[in-house]
């Protein structure tokens, strides 16, 4: 320590001399350096409560799809981007502050980051394919989105090589990603959060054993484990029996939070054994349609208290949104509802479609309790 302090002292004196500062007594300077070190330690402690625990706020959204279909001449997303002055961050203008205030934001990134126009044979008949220029990845870190799930039915729209390319662009931008073979790990406040993702639409038989094994192994290492599922039927407002079984299986294996998407519609939330299962967060920023028949959705936020490797849920809230800032068309700008009738409509849909769920949450709070 003394050698370190002596070195730091010499560096500081050299800096002061270069700036034309007067000589400072070495003993006084050493006290200054000690003050700096102590201040840094105090800043580290500020993220923890007095009992040594960390309060984590995590935000999750549904489908995040930007760009368009390279096979088509028209591209509604690019048209809107030009209208917005060419700044990709236009999409997050009404959500950015929320994402910057939390500890982790996780979205389902449904699409690819590439300039390639290659289409695999098994995708040629698909109605929609999604790709965006690699530079568009900046919309994630620029707006407080730290992590993405990469298990969905569009991530392979341009083949294996583009899938690997997409992962590379995400990593270069500092974005954590996860799929069924790769655990995404994000560290905040000294807590390591593990994220696992699975595509279940037509693969349940392959996953009944794999999912609980993966989760159980992850839970041995990480205090907080989040599992994302791409599952269910498109346009459905409630989960299937397979979704319910898989969601609860994930909790039984050790998951601290279960997030779902794919149906493009919001689904109800369960609290099973103290763990929230969000069956579908619907769409979020979605470039697949100029005006979906239902543009309402919600953003899910949850808080955890983590201490000595033990994670405890501290409640949730939802932010009802429209996936567009406009009512007449989709402009790809998710926007929180402010009108009471719109908010009530979202709450009604969630409550009504959760009536048959054994562990449906009794209410959907709009603020923290």
CATH of the domain at 246: 3.60.21.10
Distance CA 162, CA 113 (A): 8
Whose tokens are 């402690």? That residue is: 45
Q: Using alpha carbons only, how large is the chain's radius of gyration in Å?
A: 23
Percent of the chain with pLDDT over 70: 88
Distance CA 64, CA 327 (A): 19
Q: What residues are paired with 195 via a beta bridge? A: 184, 226
Higher pLDDT, 228 or 41: 228
Residues 37, 8 share a domain: yes
Structure confidence at residue 294 (pLDDT):
97
Residues 62, 32 share a domain: no
Structure confidence at residue 45 (pLDDT):
53
Is the model's pLDDT at 281 over the cut of 90? yes
Residues 126, 16 share a domain: no
Q: Is residue 330 part of a domain?
A: yes
Q: Is residue 368 part of a domain?
A: no
Residues 116, 87 share a domain: yes
pLDDT (mean) for 182-188? 98
Cβ pair 105, 59 in contact under 8 A: yes
Is the model's pLDDT at 64 over the cut of 90? yes
Residues 120, 25 share a domain: no
Cβ pair 90, 81 in contact under 8 A: yes
Residues 300, 165 share a domain: yes
Each residue's pLDDT tens digit, 240-268: 999 999 999 999 999 999 999 999 999 99
Percent of the chain with pLDDT over 90: 85
Q: How far is CA 272 from CA 87, 193, 247, 305, 328, in A?
A: 42, 21, 9, 18, 38
Residues 207, 271 share a domain: yes
Is the model's pLDDT at 112 over the cut of 90? yes
Distance CA 131, CA 118 (A): 11
pLDDT (mean) for 109-134? 95
Residues 63, 31 share a domain: no
Is the model's pLDDT at 16 over the cut of 70? no
Structure confidence at residue 46 (pLDDT):
65
Residues 332, 306 share a domain: yes
Residues 262, 171 share a domain: yes
Q: Is residue 364 part of a domain?
A: no
Which residues form the domain of 303? 54-352
Q: Is residue 17 part of a domain?
A: yes
pLDDT (mean) for 154-175? 97
Average pLDDT score, the chain: 90
Structure confidence at residue 12 (pLDDT):
42
Q: What residues are paired with 297 via a beta bridge? A: 321
Higher pLDDT, 74 or 358: 358
Each residue's pLDDT tens digit, 188-203: 999 999 999 999 998 8
Q: Is residue 362 part of a domain?
A: no
For every residue of 302-314, DSSP letters joined together read: EEEEEETTEEEEE
Q: How confident is the model at residue 44 (pLDDT cuts 50, 70, 90)?
A: very low
Is the model's pLDDT at 18 over the cut of 80? no
pLDDT (mean) for 5-26? 41
Residues 75, 114 share a domain: yes
Q: Is residue 293 part of a domain?
A: yes
Beta strands in the chain (DSSP E): 54-65, 104-109, 147-149, 176-178, 184-188, 191-199, 224-230, 257-261, 269-272, 275-278, 283-286, 296-307, 310-322, 335-336
Structure confidence at residue 54 (pLDDT):
96
Is the model's pLDDT at 204 over the cut of 60? yes
Is the model's pLDDT at 239 over the cut of 90? yes
pTM for the full model? 0.87
Domain count, the chain: 2
Residue 251, judged by CB atoms within 10 A of its CB (0-12, 13-18, 19+), counts as buried
Structure confidence at residue 235 (pLDDT):
96
Is the model's pLDDT at 303 over the cut of 50? yes
| Chain centroid to CA 287 | 18
Each residue's pLDDT tens digit, 325-335: 999 999 999 99
Structure tokens at 302: 């949850």
Q: Is residue 359 part of a domain?
A: no
Each residue's pLDDT tens digit, 67-89: 999 999 889 999 999 999 999 99
Q: Is residue 150 part of a domain?
A: yes
Residues 243, 205 share a domain: yes
Pairing of strands 176-178, 147-149: parallel
pLDDT (mean) for 288-315? 96
């Amino acid at each position: 320590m003394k050698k370190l302090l002596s070195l730091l002292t010499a560096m500081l004196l050299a800096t002061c001399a270069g700036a034309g500062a007067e000589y400072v007594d070495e003993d006084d300077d050493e006290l200054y350096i000690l003050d700096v070190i102590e201040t840094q330690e105090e800043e580290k402690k500020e993220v923890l409560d007095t009992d040594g625990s960390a309060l984590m706020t995590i935000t999750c959204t549904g489908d995040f799809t930007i760009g368009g279909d390279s096979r088509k001449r028209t591209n509604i997303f690019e048209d809107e981007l030009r209208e917005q002055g060419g700044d990709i961050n236009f999409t997050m203008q009404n959500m950015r502050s929320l994402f910057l205030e939390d500890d982790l934001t996780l979205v389902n990134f449904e699409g690819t980051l590439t300039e390639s126009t290659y289409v695999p044979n098994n995708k040629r008949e698909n109605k929609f394919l999604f790709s965006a220029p690699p530079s568009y990845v900046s919309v994630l870190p620029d707006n407080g989105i730290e992590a993405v799930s990469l298990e969905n039915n569009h991530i392979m729209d341009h083949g294996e090589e583009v899938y690997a390319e997409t992962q590379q662009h995400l990593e270069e931008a500092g974005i954590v990603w996860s799929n069924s073979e790769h655990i995404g790990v994000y560290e905040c406040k000294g807590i390591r959060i593990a994220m696992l993702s699975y595509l279940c639409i037509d693969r349940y038989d392959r996953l009944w054993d794999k999912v609980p094994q993966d989760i159980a192994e992850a839970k041995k290492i990480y205090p907080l484990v989040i599992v994302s599922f791409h599952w269910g039927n498109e346009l459905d407002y409630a989960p299937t029996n397979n979704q319910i079984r898989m969601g609860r299986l994930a909790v039984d294996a050790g998951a601290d939070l279960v997030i779902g998407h794919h149906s493009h519609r919001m689904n109800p939330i369960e609290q099973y054994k103290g763990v929230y299962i969000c069956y579908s967060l619907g769409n979020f920023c979605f470039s697949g349609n100029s005006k979906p028949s239902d543009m309402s959705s919600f953003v899910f936020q949850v808080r955890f208290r983590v201490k000595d490797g033990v994670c405890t849920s501290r409640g949730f809230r939802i932010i009802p949104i429209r996936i567009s800032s406009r009512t007449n068309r989709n402009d790809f700008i998710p926007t929180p509802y402010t009108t009471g009738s719109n908010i009530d409509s979202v709450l009604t849909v969630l409550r009504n479609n959760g009536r048959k769920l054994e562990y449906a949450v009794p209410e959907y709070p709009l603020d923290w309790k």
